[in-house]
Chains A and B, each alone.
Chain A
């Protein structure tokens, strides 16, 4: 087993999975902000 290759694979996995979580956390924050802002503007409209 080529340990250097496994090491590179581990690096891709760590950054990849971390990256997926980071991007989806940003999606989460953006969605919450959009919902909050639209809720506020709806209240103002009333």
Chain B
């Protein structure tokens, strides 16, 4: 009889305070997703995954738990981020960037936040080099890249790093404007940029993803998976003969993998690992990374203006982060606020697309460099 009671009350008897806190954390994420619409496609599954994995004796996790199996199959093998990249590639239009390749430089400059945040994380003394690199990559403003690097370097912090990356991406319209305003004058924000519509031949659109994959893959072979999958998705889109596959990648594939990715990430948020001072630090440093990214892009544009005859609007630099299309829209909105007739959306979107390439390259280089530097020590 006693055994029967123990069996019936096993869940309640094994419930610990930190699991209750995690229910609240999961609930908060679901609230943010539904009430505030902060990246609902990810935060809602993450929140629910966090609740599921913290139920005492939960059958969703553990050796035969479906969330553990999803983790082994989708995250450990890097399959989910790669599939997301194929979907993302099919959604991205690289034409504005091909028309204006100069914007690629802003896509590089806005990655500054990754490296400054990594140094900041190291200086706290709480994290080793690999963990600091995984935290810094939140600044890539690119969820799949963050997951890819975190899985490799800081599996313990996969949950907080993913939550930080996706949360701050949705907060770009709140984070970026004050930083941009602080670093630019009213006069600079009113700078107009000429836009010339360059016709991009179809053949260039098709060759672009292949050439980019070859360059990135040969220079940093570790980038082949990320850049290659992104560019494969884009090749499907621009080829003109795979409309059905392109639609499937943009819709069914993206939706299905996002759903599984979210709940699987949530399942890594076990109370023991998540409720730690380091989690709070990671959330804080994620914000720092986005601020440094924005500042890096704006300051780089200001630096370029010292040498350029035709000045660029320095706000364009802030759009060099990977959060597409929010960042480009934020920049256009700010430009229109100071001068309603100033239209820099096309340039901002080009920089934003460049940021998507920059973030993947940065993530790949970090994956290659950190082990190499550690081996050389």
- Contact surface of A with B, Cβ cutoff 8 Å: 1-2, 4-6, 8-13, 15-17, 19-28, 30-32, 34-35, 38, 42
Q: Mark B91-115, 1 if CB is under 8 A from A, else 0.
A: 0000001100110110110011011
Is there contact, CB below 8 Å, between B203 and A17?
no
In angstroms, how far is the closest chain A Cβ from the Cβ of B108? 4
B122 within 8 A of A: yes
Is there contact, CB below 8 Å, between B365 and A20?
yes
Is there contact, CB below 8 Å, between B369 and A20?
no
B220-246, CB < 8 A from A = 220
B219 within 8 A of A: yes
Is there contact, CB below 8 Å, between B112 and A17?
yes
Is there contact, CB below 8 Å, between B105 and A24?
yes
Is there contact, CB below 8 Å, between A34 and B115?
no
Is there contact, CB below 8 Å, between A38 and B204?
yes
Q: Mark B230-272, 1 if CB is under 8 A from A, else 0.
A: 0000000000000000000000000000000000000000000
- Contact surface of B with A, Cβ cutoff 8 Å: 97-98, 101-102, 104-105, 107-108, 111-112, 114-116, 118-119, 122-123, 125, 128-129, 132-133, 198, 200-201, 203-204, 207-208, 211-212, 215-216, 219-220, 354, 357-358, 361-362, 365-366, 369-370, 373-374, 377
Sample 10 A-B pairs with CB under 8 A, ordered by A number: A2-B122, A9-B119, A12-B133, A12-B373, A16-B115, A16-B366, A24-B357, A28-B101, A35-B101, A35-B200
**Cβ-closest chain A residue relative to B207:** A34
Residues of B within 8 A of A8 (CB): 129, 373-374, 377
**Cβ-closest chain A residue relative to B109:** A21
CA distance A20 to B139 in the complex (A): 14
Q: Which 5 pairs of residues, A with B, have the shortest CB-CB distance?
A: A13-B115, A31-B101, A24-B108, A38-B201, A19-B365
Is there contact, CB below 8 Å, between A12 and B215?
no
CA distance A20 to B228 in the complex (A): 16
Residues of B within 8 A of A16 (CB): 114-115, 362, 365-366, 369
Is there contact, CB below 8 Å, between A30 and B212?
yes
Q: A9-B118, A27-B101 are in contact. Are A34 and B365 (CB under 8 A)?
A: no
Residues of B within 8 A of A20 (CB): 108, 111, 358, 361-362, 365
In angstroms, how far is the closest chain B Cβ from the Cβ of A26? 5
CA distance A30 to B118 in the complex (A): 31
In angstroms, how far is the closest chain A Cβ from the Cβ of B292? 12
Is there contact, CB below 8 Å, between B129 and A28?
no
**Cβ-closest chain B residue relative to A30:** B211
Is there contact, CB below 8 Å, between B208 and A34?
yes
CA distance A1 to B121 in the complex (A): 11
In angstroms, how far is the closest chain B Cβ from the Cβ of A28? 5
**Cβ-closest chain B residue relative to A10:** B119
Q: A16-B366, A27-B212, A27-B215 are in contact. Are A11 and B373 (CB under 8 A)?
A: yes
Is there contact, CB below 8 Å, between B115 and A12?
yes
Taking each of A8, A16, A22, A35, which has the highest tally of chain B beta carbons within 10 Å of its own beta carbon? A16
In angstroms, how far is the closest chain A Cβ from the Cβ of B373? 5
Is there contact, CB below 8 Å, between B129 and A5?
yes
In angstroms, how far is the closest chain B Cβ from the Cβ of A45? 11
Residues of A within 8 A of B128 (CB): 5
Is there contact, CB below 8 Å, between A13 and B108?
no
Residues of A within 8 A of B215 (CB): 23, 26-27, 30
CA distance A42 to B198 in the complex (A): 14
Residues of B within 8 A of A42 (CB): 201
CA distance A12 to B370 in the complex (A): 6
